[in-house]
């Protein structure tokens, strides 16, 4: 029965339904991965267009990729579909895995920038990341949360101080020192010209320590 033999051979070569389904899911996962990378790539280009520093861009993109990988592990395919629950869950995940407070706060900053990007591009409508709510308190004994500038606010400030019609060079230097050296206001006010070493390009900061003697 050559006809029957040929028919059976064709049927045996057809992929089983389960294999077809597996192939579909492989394709779907690949499509989702490509879509996720495209969104993160657009976010990176957005940061470049806005003049963000290269190191900051590298940090933001790395943090967003880490967040996207976390969502994928939790079964969420679309990392652009931000929800408040995802942010809170990710923060808890970082805390449970003993990430440093500074690292967690940095990642929260990155996710806020990503959230704002999605809103600007009409890919999201809701602000689900709040620095006030999500950043971890770092000041011991503080009843309120420590207020810090976001990266966007820092950039706005730096653009503002470039305008010599509004900000003199002295005040421009003050802003730079406060932002990038960690110097306190009292220490800044105590800086003298003699504290500058032009040969080694260093600045000596005098630290004032208050000593309380208990009776």
This prediction has a pTM of 0.53
Q: Can you give the pLDDT at residue 124? A: 85
Q: What angle do CA 121, 127, 132 make, to 5 degrees?
A: 135
Pair 128, 180 in one domain = no
Tokens of 198: 């032009």
Confidence class for position 15, pLDDT limits 50, 70, 90 = low
Total domain count, the chain: 2
| Sequence-ordered list of residues with C-beta below 8 angstroms from that of 179, at least 6 positions apart, any chain | 154, 157, 158
Domain carrying residue 180:
151-203
Query: Do 90 and 38 sit in the same domain of this protein?
Result: yes
Q: Which two tokens stand for residue 59?
A: 């940090």
Shared domain for 54 and 118, answered yes or no, is: yes
Looking at the structure, do residues 109 and 7 belong to the same domain, yes or no?
yes
The answer to whether position 143 is within a domain reads no
- 165 and 110 housed in the same domain: no
Task: Report the C-alpha gap between 101 and 103 in whole angstroms.
Answer: 5
- For residue 212, pLDDT beyond 90: no
26 and 107 in a common domain: yes
More confident residue, 173 or 182: 173
Task: Assess contact for 211 and 199: CB atoms under 8 A.
Answer: no
38 and 125 assigned to the same domain = yes
Q: What CATH number corresponds to the domain at position 53?
A: 1.10.150.130
pLDDT digits (tens, 9 = 90+) for 20-38: 545 544 433 443 444 566 8
Q: Which of 47, 71, 69 is nearest to 58 (CA)?
A: 47
């Amino acid at each position: 029965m050559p006809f029957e033999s040929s028919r059976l051979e064709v049927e045996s070569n057809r992929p089983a339904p389960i294999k077809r389904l597996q192939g579909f899911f492989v394709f779907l996962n690949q499509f989702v991965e490509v879509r996720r990378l495209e969104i993160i790539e657009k976010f990176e280009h957005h940061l470049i267009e806005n003049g963000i520093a290269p190191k900051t861009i590298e940090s933001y993109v790395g943090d967003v990729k880490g967040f996207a990988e976390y969502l994928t592990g939790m079964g969420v395919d679309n990392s652009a579909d931000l929800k408040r629950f995802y942010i809170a869950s990710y923060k808890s995940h970082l805390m449970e895995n003993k990430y440093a407070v500074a690292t967690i706060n940095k990642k929260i900053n990155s996710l806020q920038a990503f959230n704002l990007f999605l809103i600007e591009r009409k890919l999201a409508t809701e602000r689900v990341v709040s620095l006030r709510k999500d950043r971890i308190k770092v000041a011991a004994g503080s009843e309120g949360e420590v207020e810090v500038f976001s990266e966007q606010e820092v950039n706005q400030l730096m653009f503002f101080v470039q305008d010599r019609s509004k900000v003199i060079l002295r005040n421009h230097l003050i802003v730079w020192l406060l932002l990038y050296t960690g110097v306190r206001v009292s220490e800044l006010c105590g800086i003298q010209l003699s504290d500058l070493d032009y040969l080694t390009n260093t600045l000596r900061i005098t630290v004032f320590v208050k000593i309380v003697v208990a009776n």
